[in-house]
Structure 1
Amino acid sequence: MACGDMVIKCASNRDRISQPVGAIAFEMESAGIFQSFAGIVIKGVCGYADSHKHKQWQDYAAGTAAAATKAVLEQFTPQDRPPAEPIDSANQTLQKPLYLVRHKAWVNFVGRDHCLNAIEHSLIREKGDTIQKCFVVYGIGGAGKTQVCLRFAELHRDKFLGVFEVDASTSVTIERDFAAIAEKIGCRATSDDGIDYLSTSQDRWLLIIDNVDLKEGSIRKYFPNTHRGCILMTTRNHRLAIPGTAGNYQLDSMDPEEGISLFLKEVHEYPNTQGNRLIASDIAKELGYLPLALAHAAVPIRHKRCRLEDYREYFQKKTSKS
């Protein structure tokens, strides 16, 4: 089954994409999910991946997929064993390092040294452990704020006994992820217990609060009340840089040379020659040197839907159709 981020409406494109890899179906809903965690996609067929659309089949397809999912789940045998007794979150310590993040760090991470150095200076080198250190990375969507934070966490994970990530796009996701932290260390799986653990733990930890979209006062109530840990926060709202007691950094588009290098790394098979860099330069410039856009743009080239030198024509055809 092939997975993509747009509907296939052309029979010739369908055949061109499916034949080299032996795909027998296309689907959209799980696009990108395997960058976060492994899973199984069970789908029902409701169209031909061409210009013929059969909405009346969608209910039947959904029912078929639900029935197949039920059959798959019935193959798993639950184990009858009593749940572990939850422990009090207060004054708990980790027995071994714990790295609990939801996003997958880019293998082809490039540059951003100035921002990484600013975070390192403020959270690690700067003395003064009597106040809670919070550093805010803010900027436009697609600038790679999350990936910078994950890169920092990977580079310095040996300095923290625990590294955690909380999705702060809504209060629901915040409470879900704090509850997951509590459950992971053996406490009751509630957001309060997750925050209490971080507030009272004797361990040095790093907490990434990602994609903050709440008001300043609303997000502050989720900050663990301690100076032992460090908070690294990302947001698109420059007004939310205020909670950054240790500093803040505005992350914009990449440096042109970094953007070109990232794009060529993402497409894989094209060597870093002067000719390829010249072609990549035009593409990176058109995409505003935004790392997320460059990573997505590399996908059709990497999957051999088009060549590097043909990408601009491919991109223009796609945008004109949309």
Structure 2
Amino acid sequence: LKTCPQPSPVFTGRGNVITSMTEHFAEDLGKRHIYVLYGLGGAGKSQIAYKFVQTSQTEPKGSRFSEVFFVDATSPETIRTDMENIARVKCEGGETVEDALRWLADEKKEWLILFNNADDTSLNLSQYFPQCAHGNILITTRNPQLRRYAPKANHQVADMEPDEAKDLLIRIVDPPSKGPSHTNGDQALSLELGFFALAIVQAGAYIANTNISIDEYLKLYARCRGELLEEYKDQVQKVDDYEWTVYTTWIISFQRLSKEAAKFLQLCAFLHHDGISESIFEKGATQLASYHPALQDEAQHFEDARQFIDHFKSNRGDWDPLKFRKTVSEVQSYSLIDYDAPNQVYFIHPLVWEWTRTKMVSNTKVTCTTMQCILGMSVSSELKMEDFAFRRGLVRHIDSALADGKVTGSDIAERFGRVLGEAGRWDDAEALEDPVVGFRKESLGMDHPDTLTSIANLATIYLNQKRLEEAQELELIVMEGRRKVLGVNDPKTLAAMNNLASIYSRQGRWKEAKALHVEVLGTKRQVLGERHPSTLTSMSNLAWIYCKQGQLDEAEKLQSFVLESRTEEFGEQHPSTLAAMGHLATTLKKKGRAEDAGALE
């Protein structure tokens, strides 16, 4: 569950709007309040919101809000992700946006939802408002149309007041601990930057980092801007009046980055701008070290990724977090990326992200391909709680990595499809997996293990789309192919048999399903062991058939063993453990043991 980020340590001014917000949310306690901060990206809307939350939660009289929920409103997907996380944390058994909204509507307290960066003009944000007459909502957006949600409680965040802008610049350039060293030109530079908060912060960071004077920066800025205006004039003016000023500031800083730091920022532009974790790069590096694609044509894509990721390895060849953080810190020193300490992730301002992606990447295809490889290789099939959570966090990054075109490489497409399928986006998963099947059939042959894996993945997608006949047809191909190539006792062959049995169950073909499950379970016990996760899955599947056929004692015996084993291996809150609890509770209810079932629910 995300917490609201802290405001910048050099946050300055904006007292009038914070006072306005404080007064608005203090009126008529117990009733619904909505406030909208709108204006140009980078003007300081989010920082004002963060400062307001910080101030409200540290008042001498106590916290103004019972809880603060931070929601990334960049897109419907990011909103759903954060709302679903609220449901998982706050609602027992909750999983969906609807569960979260229902809980908020029933929670008659002074909670606050901060919808941050709700800039998409096609987004109907009100569908994510709880249906109740209480609670508090704060929105930051570039879209002035959202003022309709709060006609009398909104504020346009534009230029800073001249004195505030000057004070902000001086706070960055001359922190109190250093004493004054830059006293000339501060007003002139603030004016030159249009009193625009983000530009001032970045210019100040550059001055502080390079130890030049404000006057020297002014000369450099004027010279650089003159060159860029002619080059970017037409496109920049389409955005807004101040965009070119900010771009100039960013380019000056970008040119000071080392090759590795600049490459890192460029790669991050093909992820989502928020929630960029070190784990993506670390896990990607681990998998890349030993990965060899089946098709030689795809090898170069991974080689480019390896060359970049090797910069963050120690002499022993393992991941070196100090090297990674040193590179990121270099980018941070120019305010081109920032760190969200409570959530332990990095984030890039959306305008910086867009500028990097569209203006500062010389070869979009190669850069996007490299990031796709790193991102794809970070995907594992592990079943621990933290693995599920990590893959959920990748969905928005995969969407961003795919935004500019097709995925690079069949294995990366397969891994992306796995994540999207796990998130319930089966149609998107099919769009990725279906071409992989055709490509591997042609390139590797029908009986190649990778081809059979892609067919099995597509069968799973069909199954979840309730396309049972098509799923059965594909799974039969996989089962026969693996028996032929791998043998009857290979775990992948057994997995195919198990999947086919599950399809038979969905079709109501209980006799055939039971026969396959019994055969699979017997073999898995011998080959994998009694408590192997795959063996436990087969036990659970067979128990479900027993339950359907009224063999409740047999079902209870298997389900109890599965629950005990999964609790020991994964813990009580793991999705697999919770599923086992639910299955056993269902069986106990059928046996008339409602009290025992209730203890599990």
State whether TM-score is above 0.5: yes
Instruction: Give per-residue Cα distances to partners, 1:130-156, cap 9 Å, x unaligned.
Output: 4x2111111222210111111110001
Shift of residue 321, structure 1, vs aligned partner: 5.6
| 1:200–1:186 distance in 2 versus 1, CA, 3 Å | closer
Which residue of 65, 71, 76 corresponds with 1:171?
Answer: 76
| 1:121–1:269 distance in 2 versus 1, CA, 3 Å | closer
Question: Could you tell me which residue of structure 2 aligns to residue 297 of structure 1?
Answer: 203
Structure 1 unaligned spans of 5+: 1-97
Structure 1 distance, partners of 2:151, 2:122, is: 13
Residue 110, structure 1, aligned to residue 12, structure 2: yes
Structure 2 distance, partners of 1:317, 1:298, is: 18
Kindly indicate which of the two structures has a greater share of residues assigned to strand. Answer: 1
Structure 1 distance, partners of 2:36, 2:179, is: 34
| 1:303–1:220 distance in 2 versus 1, CA, 3 Å | same
Question: Could you tell me which residue of structure 2 aligns to residue 146 of structure 1?
Answer: 46
Helix, strand or coil for the counterpart of 1:107?
A: coil
Helix, strand or coil for the counterpart of 2:149?
A: coil
Structure 1 distance, partners of 2:174, 2:83, is: 37
- Is this contact kept in 1: 2:87–2:97, CA < 8 A? yes
Residue 119, structure 1, aligned to residue 21, structure 2: yes
Shift of residue 304, structure 1, vs aligned partner: 1.9
Shift of residue 255, structure 1, vs aligned partner: 0.3
Structure 2 distance, partners of 1:115, 1:212, is: 19
Helix, strand or coil for the counterpart of 1:212?
A: coil
- Is this contact kept in 1: 2:162–2:191, CA < 8 A? yes
Structure 2 unaligned spans of 5+: 58-62, 229-601
Instruction: Give per-residue Cα distances to partners, 1:194-252, cap 9 Å, x unaligned.
Output: 22222221332111111222458811111112233110111222221010166111221
- Read off the aligned partner of 2:69 and give its amino acid letter: F
Structure 1 distance, partners of 2:168, 2:76, is: 34
- Read off the aligned partner of 2:97 and give its amino acid letter: S
Instruction: Give per-residue Cα distances to partners, 1:36-66, cap 9 Å, x unaligned.
Output: xxxxxxxxxxxxxxxxxxxxxxxxxxxxxxx
* Equivalences, count: 221
Structure 2 distance, partners of 1:195, 1:302, is: 46
Structure 2 distance, partners of 1:233, 1:181, is: 18
Bigger Rg over Cα: 2
Residue 212, structure 1, aligned to residue 118, structure 2: yes
CA RMSD of aligned residues (A): 2.6
| 1:234–1:272 distance in 2 versus 1, CA, 3 Å | farther
Question: Could you tell me which residue of structure 2 aligns to residue 230 of structure 1?
Answer: 136
Instruction: Give per-residue Cα distances to partners, 1:14-48, cap 9 Å, x unaligned.
Output: xxxxxxxxxxxxxxxxxxxxxxxxxxxxxxxxxxx
Report sequence identity in percent: 27
Residue 266, structure 1, aligned to residue 172, structure 2: yes
| 1:282–1:168 distance in 2 versus 1, CA, 3 Å | same
Shift of residue 110, structure 1, vs aligned partner: 0.8
Q: Which moved more, 1:189-198 or 1:280-289?
A: 189-198
Give the TM-score taking structure 2 as reference length: 0.34
Q: Which has the higher contact order (CA 8 A, sep 6+)?
A: 1
Structure 2 distance, partners of 1:100, 1:246, is: 28
Helix, strand or coil for the counterpart of 1:159?
A: coil
Structure 1 distance, partners of 2:175, 2:120, is: 42
Shift of residue 309, structure 1, vs aligned partner: 2.9
Structure 2 distance, partners of 1:196, 1:246, is: 27
